[in-house]
Every structure is written in structure tokens, then in C-alpha cells.
Chain A
Amino acid sequence: MSAKKVLMPEQQPDIRNKNFKEVALGYDEKMAIEEAERCIQCKNQPCVKGCPVHVKIPEFIKLIAQGDFEGAYQKIRETNSLPAICGRVCPQESQCESVCTRGKRGEPVAIGRLERFAADWHMKNSVDKVELPAKNGKKVAVIGSGPAGLTCAGDLAKLGYDVTIFEALHTPGGVLMYGIPEFRLPKVIVQKEIDSLKRMGVKIETNMVIGKILTIDDLFDMGYDAVFIGTGAGLPKFMGIPGENLNGVYSANEFLTRINLMKAYDFPNHPTPVKVGKKVVVVGGGNVAMDAARSAKRMGAEEVYIVYRRSEKEMPARLEEIQHAKEEGIVFKLLTNPVRIIGDENGYVKGIECVNMVLGEPDESGRRKPIPEKGSEHVMDVETVIIAIGQSPNPLITSTTEGLEKQSWGGIIVNEKTMETSRKGVYAGGDAVTGAATVILAMGAGKKAAVAIHEYLNNK
């Protein structure tokens, strides 16, 4: 049996870096069966424990090996309501695949690719059977339609709750729609997952900024029995260096929202503009930085640089995204940190001054602290700067809800077992609680909250 995963076909780097179509093309049936046969169906199933929503991995893989693709999909759906998304964006290398027994010698089983295959096969070949559960007469409001909210809503709908999701933007999906680009996660797929939730009876109200048009107290007054807050961490951080308000400096959130949600790559058919210079610097080393850099390249930038203050080893981005970025021609300037952005006489960016860094002793997070190297200042000539150094939770809800306790950095404080907040009947999960993390962790939190809400309302 092969020590390596069955390769997944991809668009060639010099072709894909000029379009927004999906990079990874997915397995066909033959490839999927071949890969599924690599799973040794081990008894202790470490992979299941490695998955935040405990997908029954060996069981669904066995079904794929037997050619029962629909059966495999249904098996995944028992615990995961968004498999087409998770199969694409989960960091499997640090979750299910990191503990796969096959990975001890050779490569682990490609669990993510198989999950994606089953979900895509289902979308192409089957129609969802709508089996609406008996309604239990209780109403739950879910604030935010990102991965946490969608999962919580789906699980509650399955249990018979009357669920309404309130979304601030005009399109549901949260980061799946405005953040992660089309070339990693096609929006049609996100839309299909959302449509299948709607068929289960979940209502989605867009353009509803909770904290402004309605408060959490209003929701209880309207007859909702419980509330789940899944509002994410969408508040961009800036560096606080001179020149950050020059024309041509974007937060990654703004840049990606213009491109993904508003489809600025299709200007002027979609009239939202975005400006991408010939030379672009993206500051940061996470997935958001990779997404912004790769999007800038696809918008026609000739040179795109990732500027990161630590070394590649410390980069929080997924390995696969770093590799894809490099293949597409993104240049990595590591151990480099911006000190100021320089503008021309009209106030447009013309350069960024950076300083070299050396790594010192590990800090409290365990990562070696970068220290600026004196006299190493240098200027890079660029026209666009995109800041991708992280996000924190938006204070709109916490500032308008009395008695909702939060951390000093804005995260909502919850009981980690039940996701209940300091307000009775109010639960929270995902990035709104943890700060910017992963899609699958947000889904796990949404799931946990759904169980706790069910228990709470049953005993009420």
C-alpha cells in the first residue's frame, strides 16, 4: 500500500494565480476509493478524537471504499453539518490527520480530501430528503451566520426548535463568504450548505445588526427562549505606525470583503472598487495574510510580498496555504517588520520602511520573541499595503447587553462545558469567545452550545 496520499489534481500555479477559480480540483471516484483503501480501520480511532466535531471517520471512509458515496456523506452529516466546507478549509494536519495511525510511517490518510469528495459527490448526485423534525414549539435566536451560528442553528433545527439566524451583512456565511476567497472555498458551495439548512426550516434574516436594530433583550421580549451569539472576531487590528491612513493601505478584512463579498474582481459589473498596485506588501503570517496576498496576485499585482516578523516555522498559516502561495509567486520577507508607511505628495502609498528582526527568547506564548536589529532599516517601494495582523471581537453586542461579561480583549466569557455566558439563556461560541481561530473550532463550539441550549430549555 502506498506510503503517500493519492495526489489531488490542482490548477497549475501560473494559470491559477490569474483566476479566482478553485485551486484544488478534488478526487474523482477512482482516486477516492484508492485513498479510502489506505485507511486501516484501526480500533482505537485516534482520528475521531482529533476532530473537534468527532466525525465518524473510519466508518465514512469504509463506505467510500465500498463505493457507497451517499452513505459516506450521510455518515459525516450525522455530526458535521458543513462537510464540503470542512473538507476544504480545516487544518487537518493539526487535527484528524495529525493523529492518524497511517501517518506514523508515511503520510496519513487524506481524511479532509475524502470528506470533501463525499460532500461534493452528494451535491452533484443527490437531492436532500427533507425530513422536518416535529416542532417542539420553542424559539431560539442565533446571532451571526458564520460557521458557529450555522452549526448551532442546524443542530437545534434537527431537534425541533424554531430557529432564526440574524446576520448583519446582506449575505449569510460570515467569514466563509467575505473572508475565505473563492479559490479556496467556492461561494456556490457555501450557498448550497446554507440552502440545505433553510430546507430544514432555519430562517435567516439578513441586514440585521444586533446591538443596533434589536438588542438581546429585545429578542427575549419577542419570545425567543434562548440566544446563541456567534458574531466572530471581525474587528481589524492596525499596527499603529505612521502612514497607516494613507490611500492604498487596507485592513485584510476590507480588502477581502471588497473582493469576496462585493466581487470587486468583477469591476465594473460589480461596482465596488478596489485598488491593487503593481507592488503589494501584506503584513502578517496567518491564513488571512495568505488569502490577501494570493488575492492581490490574482488582481494583477506583479510583485506580492508577505512581510512577517518571525521565521517561517512560527507562521500560523496552514502549511498547504504557504506552499500554494509560494508556488503562485508570492515572495516571503521573513524576520522583517514594518516601522512606517511612506506616502507621495498626493497621499498615496509609495513605500514601506521595514526593519530586520532576530529571534530572542521564547515569550509567554512559547514563541521566540522577535527583536528589531538596529541599523537594518530599509525601504520597499510598494503602492499597496494590506494589514493582516489579526482581528478581535466586535464590541457591538457586548456593549449593548447588560450583564454580559467579557475579557479585557473583548472575548465573551463562557462556561467552557456549556458555552453559557453570564446571562441566563444566552450562549456564545466561536471566534466571539476565543478570538480568531478556525472554522472547525467554531463549529465545535456551535455544536456544544446546541446541546446545552437543548438541555436548558428541556429543564426550563
Chain B
Amino acid sequence: MNEILEKKQLNPTVKLMVINSPLMAKKAKPGQFVIVRVDESGERIPLTIADYDADKGTVTIIFQEVGMSTKALGKLNVGDRLHDFVGPLGVPVEFSPDVKRVLAIGGGVGVAPLYPKVKMLHKNGVKIDSIIGGRSSEYVILEDEMRAVSDNLYITTDDGSKGHKGFVTDVLKELLANGNKYDEVIAIGPLVMMKMVCQITKEYNIPTMVSMNPIMVDGTGMCGGCRVSVGGEVKFACVDGPAFDGHKVDFDEAMRRQAMYKDMEKKALDEYEHRCKLGGILNG
């Protein structure tokens, strides 16, 4: 259980791991997530379920190395075990059968949680246009996978090294301005990107689903650390979400809450890297 069966580097900071977890693989659905603890004293971090295979008994996670815990996770190799692997958590996403044409937008590592939803829609015969973006060409992930489940795939990079130069929202504006009609937009990525997407789709009155990524501890509804304001109501993203109606989400509050421990996160990372360096000297 919890053994890493496969490890792939998707871009300079994003890694994919296939984890042996037969029970979870049977229950996982698009939109759900896991909580991971790398080692015995580690913190609990939420990660998206990017794919799952009930027959093989595997669950795939994709994560960006941004801080101490994700860096420690990235150091593990095939054959290693995750100390704790909890899930599937959160509410699976559901789509009305009236949804026939969807625009899927993924920014950075947000393409990972986007993929299983698009894959499911595609399987159900929904027509999909996708926009995926990254800082530069090497940061665009899951291009082949997304292409396989999309009717049209648009790629954007901030520096123009691949696809359209600019942001995913530029392509979104263009598609809408050109008269493309969508029953629903799904947007997953940095909070600021999802906020911008929602501002645009609101003008066109297109229902827009976003997936929130707040700070979590337990992931089972017992602490409320992950609370987000949706339509003026307090929701716990871990049990009520993480997917919500983007037009109702208070993104400014979410951005503020996400930054709450920035200073301490940096300290933990510095300490960790310092220790790794010392370990390196001692071992070398």
C-alpha cells in the first residue's frame, strides 16, 4: 500500500507519481483529492487525484514543488512508500446531461485536476475545447493527454515559446468574441487566473466551475481551515467542494487566506534545505 509505482518529471517543478492504492482506486471520481503525509513528522497536504485505474489499483497524483513538503515528496522514488495517503476526499463533480459543449481551462499545475473531469466528459460524448497554459513551453503539462480528450486544444505561454503568447484568458476572450457557445466553463489554476476567467464568463453568463485549493489540515470537515465564502455562505472546501460555482466565490478572500502562512512556509523550506545541505556534506 502507498507504494510509488511510477515517477515522472512533467516540467522543471511538476512531478507525477502513480501510487498503489487499490481501495481508493475503486472509489475515486473526478474532482476528488487526497491528503498526503510524506514522513512521520510531516504535515498533511492536499493533492488532486489526477487519474485513477480501478483495475490496476492505482491513483495518480501530480504536484508542483513549491515548499518543504512537496520538495520532500519529490525526493521519494519508485519503490518508496508515502507515510500516509488518505482519500478519496471531497465531492465528485457532476455535470447535467444538458451540458453538451464545454470549455476547459487549465493554468500551470491546474491542468492536473482539470484532466480527469475533461476525460470523463469526453467519454460521455461532450464536445470539448481546452485551453492550457504555462509560463513557457517547458511548463505546459499533460499536452498529449489533454489533446486526446479535446476537440480543440489551445496552448498559451507567457513568453510565447509555445502556442499563443499571453494568458489563457486571452484565448478565452477570443473564443467568446468569435461567437463560440459553451454550456459550461471549467477553470482550474492559480486563484488569480480563476478570478479573471470568472469575470469574463460572467459577462457572457456562462456557468463556470472552479476548483478551490485552500489551506487544509484534516480534509474531512473537522477544522474549517479550508473555509471559502460562496454566495455569501461559508463552505468547507474539503467536504462541500473543492469545486464551486466560480461566479459566487469570493476570490479576494481566498487569495488572502492562502497567503496566511507565507513567512512560516518560507522558514520551514529554508530549514529543510539547510538540513539537506548539511546531510549532503556529511554523507559526501
Q: Interface of A with B (CB < 8 Å)?
A: 168-170, 206-207, 209, 212-214, 234-236, 238, 240, 244-245, 247-248, 250-251, 253-254, 257-258, 262-263, 267-273, 275, 346-347, 394-396
Q: How far is the CB of B3 from chain A (nearest CB, A)?
A: 14
Q: How does the 8 Å CB contact mask read for B252-272 relative to A, with 1 for contact and 0 for none?
A: 010011011100110110011
- CB pairs A–B below 8 angstroms (11 shown): A170-B44, A209-B86, A209-B89, A214-B23, A245-B227, A253-B223, A254-B224, A257-B218, A268-B264, A268-B268, A275-B261
Check B231 for interface membership: any CB of A closer than 8 A: no
Flag if B222 contacts A268 (CB, 8 Å): no
Chain B residues in 8 Å Cβ range of A251: 223-225
Within the assembled complex, what's the spacing in Å between the Cα atoms of A251 and B37? 22
Partner among A168, A262, A394 whose Cβ is within 8 Å of the Cβ of B86: A168
Select A207's contact among B85, B229, B253, B267, beta carbons within 8 Å: B85
Q: Which residues of B contact A170 (CB under 8 A)?
A: 37, 44, 83-84, 86
CB pair B88 A258 closer than 8 Å = no
Whether the pair B224, A213 counts as a contact (CB closer than 8 A) is no
Taken together as a complex, chains A and B put the C-alpha atoms of A335 and B271 apart, in Å, by: 45
A-facing residues in B186-231 (Cβ within 8 Å): 217-218, 220-225, 227, 229
Give the CA-CA distance A253 to B216 in the complex, in Å. 13
Given contacts A168-B86, A275-B264, contact A254 B221 (CB under 8 A): no
Given the contacts A254-B224, A396-B220, A270 and B89 also touching, CB distance less than 8 Å: no
> Of B42, B218, B239, B256, which is within 8 A of A347 by CB?
B256
Tell whether A234 pairs with B222 under 8 Å between CB atoms, given A257-B217, A273-B268, A275-B260. yes
Residues of B within 8 A of A263 (CB): 41
Interface string of B5-30 (1 = CB under 8 A from A): 00000000000000000011001000
List residues of chain A with CB within 8 A of the CB of B257: 245, 247, 347
Give CA–CA (A347, B262) in the complex, Å: 14
CB distance from B195 to the nearest CB of A (A): 15
B242 at the interface (CB under 8 A from A): no
- Distance of A209 from chain B, by nearest CB (Å): 6
- Is residue B78 contacting chain A, with contact meaning CB distance below 8 A? no
B164, chain A: closest CB distance, angstroms = 34
Query: Looking at chain B's contact residues, is the secondary structure mostly helix, strand, loop, or mixed?
Result: mixed
Q: Does B108 contact A (CB under 8 A)?
A: no
Asked whether, in the complex, the Cβ of A212 is within 8 Å of the Cβ of B87, the reply is yes
Known: A213-B24, A273-B264. A257 touches B223 (CB 8 A): yes
Please name all residues of chain A whose beta carbon is closer than 8 Å to the beta carbon of B76 when the two chains form the complex: none
Question: Is the beta-carbon distance between B256 and A271 smaller than 8 angstroms?
Answer: no
* CA of A267 to CA of B42, assembled, Å: 11
Residue ranges of B at the interface with A (Cβ–Cβ < 8 Å): 23-24, 27, 37, 41-44, 68-69, 83-89, 217-218, 220-225, 227, 229, 234, 239, 253, 256-257, 259-261, 264-265, 267-268, 271-272
Question: How long is the Cα–Cα vector from A270 to B69 in the complex, in angstroms?
Answer: 11
**Of the candidates B27, B44, B220, B271, which one forms a contact with A262 in the assembled complex, judged by CB atoms under 8 Å apart?**
B44
Cβ contact of B222, chosen from A206, A213, A273, A394, cutoff 8 A: A394
Contact B221 A235 (CB under 8 A): yes
A residues less than 8 Å from B217 (CB atoms): 254, 257-258, 262, 272
For A212, list chain B residues within 8 Å (CB).
27, 87-89
Q: Taking CB as reference atom, which chain B residue is nearest A247?
A: B260
Closest 10 CB pairs of A and B: A254-B223, A273-B264, A347-B256, A234-B222, A272-B43, A268-B268, A207-B86, A271-B268, A170-B84, A273-B261
Closest chain-A Cβ to B10's Cβ sits at a distance in Å of 24
Q: In the bound complex, how far is the Cα of B90 from the Cα of A212, in angstroms?
A: 9
A254 contact set on B, CB distance < 8 A: 217, 223-225
Q: Is the CB of B223 within 8 A of A168?
A: no
Distance between A70 CB and nearest chain B CB, rounded to angstroms = 33
- B83: chain A residues at CB < 8 Å are 170
Most buried by B among A236, A269, A272, A347: A272
Smallest Cβ-Cβ distance to B85: which chain A residue:
A207
Interface centre among A238, A257, A271, A394 (most CB of B within 10 A): A271
Q: Report whether A257 and B87 are in contact in the complex, using a CB–CB cutoff of 8 Å.
A: no
* Residues in A whose Cβ lies below 8 Å from that of B225: 250-251, 254
- A398–chain B nearest beta-carbon distance, Å: 12
Q: A207-B84, A268-B271 are in contact. Are A253 and B222 (CB under 8 A)?
A: yes
Known: A258-B217, A262-B44. A238 touches B264 (CB 8 A): no
A236 CB contacts on chain B under 8 angstroms: 222-224
Bound CA span A396–B24, Å: 16
Q: A268-B267, A275-B260 are in contact. Are A235 and B222 (CB under 8 A)?
A: yes
- The docked-state distance in angstroms from the alpha carbon of A267 to that of B271 is 10
**Which of the residues B24, B68, B218, B256 comes within 8 Å of A346, measured between beta carbons?**
B256
Interfacial chain B residues near A169, Cβ < 8 Å: 218, 220
Which residues in A have their C-beta under 8 angstroms from that of B264? Answer: 267-268, 273, 275
Task: Tell whether A269 pairs with B222 under 8 Å between CB atoms, given A168-B86, A213-B87.
Answer: no
Chain B residues with CB under 8 Å of A271's CB are 41-43, 68-69, 268, 272
Greatest chain A CB density within 10 A among B23, B42, B86 is at B86
Question: Which residue of the partner chain B has the closest CB to A235?
Answer: B221
A92 to B220, CA, bound (A): 33
Q: When chains A and B are docked, how far (Å) is the Cα of A238 from the Cα of B229? A: 13
Closest residue on chain A to residue B90 by CB atoms: A212
Residues of the A chain whose Cβ atoms lie less than 8 Å from the Cβ of B24: 213
Q: How far is the CA of A273 from the CA of B267 in the complex (A)?
A: 10
A252 vs B137: C-alpha distance when bound (angstroms): 45
Closest CB of chain A to B81's CB: distance in Å?
12
For the complex, give the distance between the alpha carbons of A148 and B37 in Å.
27
Chain B residues, Cβ within 8 Å of A245: 227, 229, 234, 253, 257
Picked from B41, B69, B85, B87, the residue with its CB within 8 Å of the CB of A269 is B41
Nearest-CB residue, chain A, relative to B82? A207
The residue in chain B whose Cβ has the minimal distance to the Cβ of A343 is B256
Task: Provide the bound-state CA to CA distance between A396 and B218, in Å.
Answer: 14
B208 to chain A, nearest CB (A): 22
